[in-house]
Amino acid sequence: MTVLSSSVRETAAADSCVRAWPVARRLGVSRVAETTYLDRIGIPVCAAVRPGAELVVVTAGKGESADEARVGALMEAVEQAVAEQCAATTPLRWASPRVIAGEGGVRLGAWCPRPEQTVDVDRALPWITVPSLSGTGDLAVPAELVLTPCPAEATTSLFGSTTTGLASGNSHTEAVLHGLCEVLERDVTSLMSVADTSALIDPDTLPPSPAQLYGLIRSAGLGVWLRWVPAYGGHYMACLIDDPDRAHPLYCNGGYGFHPLPEIAAVRALAEAAQSRLTYIQGSRHDLTDSYAAFGAMAPRERARWRDRLLTRRSAAVPAAAFPSDLARPVPPCPQDLLVELLAAVAKAGLGPVGVHTFAPLAEPFHVVRVVVAGAEHFTSHTRRFGARLAAHAREQR
C-alpha cells in the first residue's frame, strides 16, 4: 500500500506514470508537460494535452512530487476520455419521477435539482441504473449526474453535467474512494459557500508535508490561508492564495480537499490552489474567459471590494484551530478500509444511498467510475443546484 501526499493508492506514483502513459496515448493524449516553473511557488504541477477532447483539452495534476502531479494530469485526461466515449452508448431508462419513487427509489428532490426548474413528476425523464453501495440494490440516478458530457437527448437542465465524482484508480475500490471523496468535497464546499463555519488552521501546527507546501507559498511572497471543517468522519480543507503584487481577483486562487486523512486533505487543498494559480498564468483552460469577462466587466473599485471581502472571510482568525491529529488510525491505511469507514459515516450523516457507475474497460489496467450520493449538495455558479441541506445550513447560520 502506498500513502502518497495527496491520496492513498495501491501503486507508487512513479510506477503509475509508467502504466498510465500508454493508456493516455491510446485515448488521445499527445503530451504531458511540467508547468511548475511558469510560476515562482515551486509546488509540482503538470498538464496533459488531449487535442480532440470534448470536455477539457488541457487537464492538470498536482502533488508534493512531480510524479504525483504527472500521473494526476494523465489520469484526469484518461477519466474524461473514457466518459466521453461511453456517454452516447450508456443505456437509459425513461420513467417519471413518480414511477421511480413508487418503486421505492430515491425521490428526484434528493438529487438537489436546480430550484428554478419546474418539474412535472409525471413526465418521463432519463435515468441510469447503477449498483448501490448502501445495500439497497440497484439505484435509478438522473442521467445528467452520470454522463459527461451528457448527450442532448438525456439533458433535462435540472442538474447540469459536471465531472464531480468521476474518478479512476489502480483498482475499482481505489477509484470509488477517490470519487466519493470528491463528491463530499463539493458537498462541503457548497455548504461553506453560503455560510462558512470553517476554522483557520494555525500554520505552526502543520505536519511536515502540508508545512512544506505552505512554506513554499509564503516564501514566494504570497498570502496563504488554510481552513478546516470536520465532516463525515474525515477532514475538509480549503486554501486561498493571494498575490499582493497583483491585487486582483484573478490572482485570489482557491483549492479544496476532502479525505479521511487530514494531511492528505491539506496537501490537496494547498496544491490545488497553486495549480489554480498556474492555470491562470498558463491560460490553459478554455473556460477561463468566463472569469476574465466577469471581472473585466467590474469597475476597479468593485473588483477591489470583491477581493477584500474574500480575503476578509478566508483570513478570519475566529474560529481558529490546531491541525487535527489522526493518531488512532492504523498505518498504512488501505483504500478498502477507508471506503468502508467513509460509507458508514455518510450513512450516519443521513446522506445516500451511494451509487457507482462503472464505465467500460477502455482504460485497462485502470478502472474508471462515476460516484453519486443522494442528498449531497452541488452548488456552484454553473450548476446552481440547491438542496434541502444547503437551505437548512443557510438558515441555521443566520
According to the model, what pLDDT value does residue 397 have?
77
According to the model, what pLDDT value does residue 291 have?
87
Question: Using one digit for the tens of pLDDT, what is the confidence trace for 301-326?
Answer: 999 999 999 999 999 999 999 999 87
Range with the poorest average pLDDT among 138-142, 157-161, 257-261, 309-313: 157-161
Residue 5 has pLDDT above 80, yes or no: no
How many residues are listed for the chain in this entry?
398
Q: pTM for this structure?
A: 0.95
DSSP symbol at 163: -
Region of residue 297 (left: phi > 0; alpha: psi -120 to 50; beta: else): alpha
Q: How far is CA 67 from CA 32, 44, 76, 81, 244, in A?
A: 12, 9, 14, 21, 31
CA distance 205 to 210: 10
According to the model, what pLDDT value does residue 178 have?
97
Q: How far is CA 62 from CA 17, 53, 99, 364, in A?
A: 13, 21, 44, 23
The SS3 assignment for 100 reads helix
Pairing of strands 125-131, 93-95: antiparallel
Give the DSSP H/E element, type plus range, for residue 140.
strand 138-142
Mean local confidence (pLDDT), 12-16: 93
According to the model, what pLDDT value does residue 381 have?
83
Phi, psi values for residue 255, rounded to 5°? -145, 150
> At what angle are helices 172-194 and 335-348 packed, to 10 degrees?
40
The percent of residues in the chain predicted with pLDDT above 90, rounded, is 85
The SS3 assignment for 218 reads helix
CA distance 240 to 192: 14
Question: Using one digit for the tens of pLDDT, what is the confidence trace for 219-252?
Answer: 999 999 999 999 999 999 999 999 999 999 999 9
Mean local confidence (pLDDT), 63-80: 97
According to the model, what pLDDT value does residue 328 have?
67
Question: Using one digit for the tens of pLDDT, what is the confidence trace for 334-372?
Answer: 899 999 999 999 999 999 999 999 999 999 999 999 999
CB atoms within 10 A of CB 192: 19
Q: How far is CA 202 from CA 3, 10, 211, 398, in A?
A: 24, 32, 11, 26
